C-alpha cells in the first residue's frame, strides 16, 4: 500500500506525522522533521527519523497477538497512560523496527 500527498512549505515549516500501528494495542509511529535545512528543501528517506511510541494505555503484548489487540478488544489495565518511546518488555517482546513496517520519503515537486 502506498499513500502520497502534496503540500506547500516555507522555511521554518516542519512535517509532523503520526500513525497508529493496527497490529498493536497502543503503539504508534511519530515523525517530526524540519522541511528546510540551510535554506534548502529537505528531500529523501526520512524513515530513520521516525520513532515507535507506546501510548501507555494498555499492557504491551507481542504485535498481532493478545487479548488487547484489534479484533479481540477486551480492554486492559493501562500502563500509567504515559506516552514513551517503545522499548522491549521484560519478556523481550519487541516490535519490528520502524523501517521494517513503513517508509517515509520527502520529494520536492516543482510547480
- All three cell numbers of 62, joined, read 507481542
The pTM (predicted TM-score) of the whole model is 0.72
Confidence of residue 80 (pLDDT cuts 50, 70, 90): low
d(CA 32, CA 16): 5
d(CA 56, CA 37): 34
Chain segment 33-64, per-residue pLDDT in tens: 999 999 999 999 999 999 999 888 777 777 66
- All three cell numbers of 36, joined, read 528546510
Share of the chain above pLDDT 90, in %: 37
Amino acid at each position: 500500500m502506498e499513500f502520497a500527498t502534496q503540500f506547500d512549505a516555507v522555511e521554518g515549516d516542519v512535517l509532523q506525522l503520526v500513525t497508529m500501528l493496527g497490529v498493536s494495542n497502543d503503539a504508534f509511529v511519530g515523525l517530526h522533521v524540519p522541511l528546510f535545512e540551510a535554506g534548502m528543501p529537505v528531500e529523501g528517506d526520512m524513515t530513520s527519523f521516525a520513532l515507535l511510541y507506546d501510548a501507555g494505555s494498555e499492557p504491551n503484548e507481542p504485535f498481532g497477538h493478545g487479548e488487547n489487540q484489534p479484533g479481540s478488544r477486551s480492554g486492559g489495565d493501562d500502563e500509567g497512560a504515559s506516552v514513551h518511546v517503545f522499548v522491549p518488555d521484560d519478556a523481550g517482546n519487541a516490535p519490528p523496527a520502524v523501517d521494517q513496517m513503513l517508509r517515509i520519503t520527502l520529494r520536492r515537486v516543482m510547480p
